[in-house]
Amino acid sequence: MQTLGFSHRWRLSGWYFFYFALIGAFSPYFTLYLQSLGLAAASIAALMSLMSAMRLLAPNLWGWLAERSGRTLLVLRASALLSMVGFTGFFFTEAFWPLFAAMAAMSFFWSAVLPLVEALTLGHLAGRAELYGRVRLWGSVGFIVAVLGAGAWLDRAPIASLLWIILALLVGIALCSWLLGDASTGAVGPRLSLRGGLHRPEVRALLAAGFFMSAAHGPLYVFYSIHLVEHGYDKTAVGVLWSLGVVAEIAVFVAMPRLLKSCSIRAILMLSFVAATVRFLLIGWCADIFLVLLFAQLMHGATFGAHHAASVAALNHWFPPRQQARVQAMYGSISFGAGGMLGNLLSGVSWEAVGPGLTFSGAAVLAAMGLLLVGRGIGRRRPVR
């Protein structure tokens, strides 16, 4: 990497590794843990939606605090430590409302850390946002290691042991946060208004489309593992399928510098929404056909990897460094926060009411709505260089 020193590169890569390893252990298997406690689908969806709900408020709060104080690293380290403390509540209860409180506490602080590190990473890249994927791909590696390792472990160990795996990964995130170095994102002082940038039609379209993409992924993140187990797959197979999607994601991140130089943001985003529409239909109706599931998981490289990397690069291109912490937090709040919460709650209601097929078909409809937004709202611009 040309503008990111070796030491900073690997410290950031290590942080991404642990952060997404946590997601690799949490997203596929925590719903199975909650199901083992006897919770209904709607209760599971409500608990999982707290992760998204907190992204509506917390990233903007922490992003504002980091930008206003100029102490991004201090805010990052405090939030990482407090998220670890919040998670310990899961060790002491199996009742819904105490679980709700523990999830809310962990999520409030944990949701702050990614936008702050994204801003640090872009600051270290010094304008070379197309190289973001080469650092971020280590998060995908961490996800694969965790999802395969946890799946194999949970086929042999009690599902409750998942709590210790997650706690260990939270400790890793906290420790890595203390190793990160600061990066300049502009002088400390009064905030620069985002209003002008947010009035641009391409920015509004990008944020709205991100909302629908995250909402479309709701059934996947809440019920995909349960869906697979109910079709006879063991936890090792569940881990393999989750990790296959992330292998595709890694390939996309590696290729992203070339893609951003040769293709427009609009083209990359439109392809990702087309892939999402097809993918969720296949998962909903063809879960008994393993080869179809393999193909659908490979499409994760487009539906998450290409969409996220292109969105981050576009916002970095459209907004100055001084506003990156806030605009990346806003992107996370609208897409992963509001969109994710809506998708999780809708899937919880529809899963028992109409079944998996129609639930994933609804996800495909949401992805198609995002496709329309990108097609109409983002013009045919030059590739990001």
Give per-residue pLDDT as tens, 109-160.
988 788 788 777 877 776 565 567 778 788 888 989 999 999 999 999 999 9
Residue bearing tokens 């392809």: 271
* Cα 245 → chain centroid: 13
The pLDDT score that the predictor gives to residue 249 is 83
The pLDDT score that the predictor gives to residue 385 is 44
Q: Is residue 385 part of a domain?
A: no
Task: Write phi, then psi, for 181 (nearest 5 degrees).
Answer: -100, 155
Q: Distance (Å, rounded) from C-alpha 365 to C-alpha 343?
A: 12
What pTM was computed for the model? 0.80
Q: Distance (Å, rounded) from C-alpha 327 to C-alpha 332?
A: 9
Positions in the chain whose pLDDT score sits under 50: 1-3, 185-190, 383-385
Q: Distance (Å, rounded) from C-alpha 335 to C-alpha 338?
A: 6
Could you tell me the residue range of the domain that residue 238 belongs to? 6-183+193-377
For the segment 160-185, what is each residue's pLDDT rounded down to a tens digit? Answer: 999 999 999 999 999 999 888 765 54
Q: Distance (Å, rounded) from C-alpha 185 to C-alpha 177?
A: 18
Q: Is residue 384 part of a domain?
A: no
- What is the DSSP code (8-state) at residue 128? -
Q: Is residue 74 part of a domain?
A: yes
Number of domains in the chain: 1
Q: Is residue 296 part of a domain?
A: yes
Which one-letter amino acid corresponds to residue 294?
L
The pLDDT score that the predictor gives to residue 129 is 55
CATH number for the domain that contains residue 328: 1.20.1250.20
Q: Is residue 230 part of a domain?
A: yes
Query: Integer distance in angstroms from the first to the last C-alpha of the chain?
Result: 15
Residue bearing tokens 């009064």: 190
Q: Is residue 1 part of a domain?
A: no
Q: Is residue 383 part of a domain?
A: no
Q: Is residue 242 part of a domain?
A: yes
